[in-house]
Structure 1
């Protein structure tokens, strides 16, 4: 779904998870995205122009004031890489009591989500069009998140490229530190080898606990998108991994 693709190239010792969450970031080697070719539609561009000033937040290396950003105090869910925003809008509509902070650098995707927000009259989404790794490191303090969604990140299916995958111990440690006790981290992928890696990496993070014996059933709030239906018709599996922050 999203344009999220890469991960840190170094590992952090798990006993230092809290300290790892505050470790310096290295933009040249740690990216949560790759620039995609392609142009958006006129409708997407119009949505960015008209709705962007209200719903797209500027990146700043300072803690985000979520009450000011959303106009209320509510549970906060971070989504990393929402693609064209189909699942994002669906979930936000199902859960109006929650706020959703969504990172995506692909402008057509930003425009597509803004269009969906207008069509569905959604006001509980804010978008940061910036590298999610830097957003996590500089805008989100520890314990501020009630949930994290990472759906269908780039699988980098060739074995030599697995090191570029987003779900790696350093990022998971940073995310875990920013999830409040009892909050959750939900990943989904249609690549079995990546699903197994997700299960292994999240299972090794001491701040997190699996909600299932292995892979989790698809939660009701996560819809099956057109992308996913197409994969299932072709015989591809889909795996959900759902962990919670230990209390």
Structure 2
């Protein structure tokens, strides 16, 4: 048997961010077990062809992807001037908050990444039931989507809500929000664009705040307006309180929002 060798990986990615071993070898997610319901399967079949975007190793065509959004159609069939703001959401779970935000912000387009099939099916079902037109889903690893499908300075916002905290210390390296990913996201934000993270695990909140503060292309929006919150932000109006979050609050658990802006 001939020995196979792995090609040497360059020190930097095409966007200039470091090619850290973390981003190449450690998955920050696991594909959870779960059963796709009949309703979700039907949504895949009926709604999926319009909403699901296949992963591709090249920049996506935003105009084509969102051609059927409400903003693109406009009033009386007249498209609104300019492209709609584009927000990337990483890991939407079962899509409850995602659907709510898309309805609260109808003039914003959302590109949502999730690898959990029942979660994708659940969001597709909500999209069909609620007539939502400004969501597209890529059921693929978000890091590869960022690397290959999103050009530099193409995003107006990034949402990362309640990512897996990986509680055990030996698993902390699997946490999604670390410097290599934040550098990639900052490079793809337009000036004035934002990253909004939320977590109910305080040690992770501290890490998120530290990592975003260390990124030179970002500044903390809350420092000037809410200095009493020590770097954390009040919950933005568009993010709903989920059933899980409400239950935690009743039990005395905290929730921390962190919002930084590209400078």
TM-score (norm 2): 0.84
- Determine the C-alpha separation between the residues in 2 that align with 1:158 and 1:144: 35
Assess, with a 3 A threshold, how the Cα gap between structure 1 residues 28 and 243 changes in structure 2: closer, same or farther: closer
Instruction: Pick the aligned partner of 1:34 from 30, 37, 53.
Output: 30
Q: Which residue of 2 aligns with 1:93?
A: 103
Partners of 1:141 and 1:69 in 2: how far apart? Answer: 15
Q: Is contact 2:179-2:215 (8 Å) kept?
A: yes
- 8 Å CA contact 1:17–1:174 kept in 2: the answer is no
Which residue does the alignment assign to 2:52? Answer: 56
Structure 2: how far apart are the matches of 1:141 and 1:174?
10
Q: Which structure would you say has the larger RCO, counting Cα contacts within 8 Å and 6 or more residues apart?
A: 1
Once the two structures are superposed, the pairs formed by residues 30-179 of structure 1 within 5 Å of their partners are 30-71=26-67, 72=72, 73-179=83-189
Does the 8 Å CA contact 1:18/1:173 hold for their aligned counterparts? no
Structure 1 distance, partners of 2:144, 2:24, is 12
- Which of 213, 218, 239 is the matching residue for 1:222? 239
CA distance in 1, matches of 2:241, 2:164: 18
Shift of 1:33: 2.3
Instruction: Label 1:66 to 1:17 Cα distance change in 2 as closer, same or farther (>3 A).
Output: closer
Structure 2: gaps spanning 5 or more residues: 1-10, 73-82, 224-230
2:3 is aligned to none
| 251, 258, 261: which one aligns with 1:234 | 251
Compute the RMSD of aligned alpha carbons. Answer: 2.0
The Cα offsets for residues 114-162 of structure 1, whole Å up to 9 and x where unpaired, read as: 1111111100000000000000000001000000000000000111111
Q: Does 1:19 align with 2:16?
A: yes
Indicate conservation of the 8 Å contact 1:136/1:175, yes or no: yes
Distance apart, 1:31 and its partner CA? 2.9
On the 8 A contact 1:32/1:131 being kept in 2, the answer is no
Count of residue correspondences: 232
CA distance in 1, matches of 2:176, 2:183: 12
* TM-score normalized with structure 1 length: 0.89
What is the CA–CA distance in structure 2 between the aligned matches of 1:227 and 1:44, rounded to whole Å? Answer: 21
Paired residue for 1:197, among 193, 200, 207? 207
Q: Tell me the secondary structure at the aligned position of residue 239 of structure 2.
A: coil
Q: Distance in 1 between matches of 2:26 and 2:49?
A: 28
> Which residue does the alignment assign to 1:188?
198
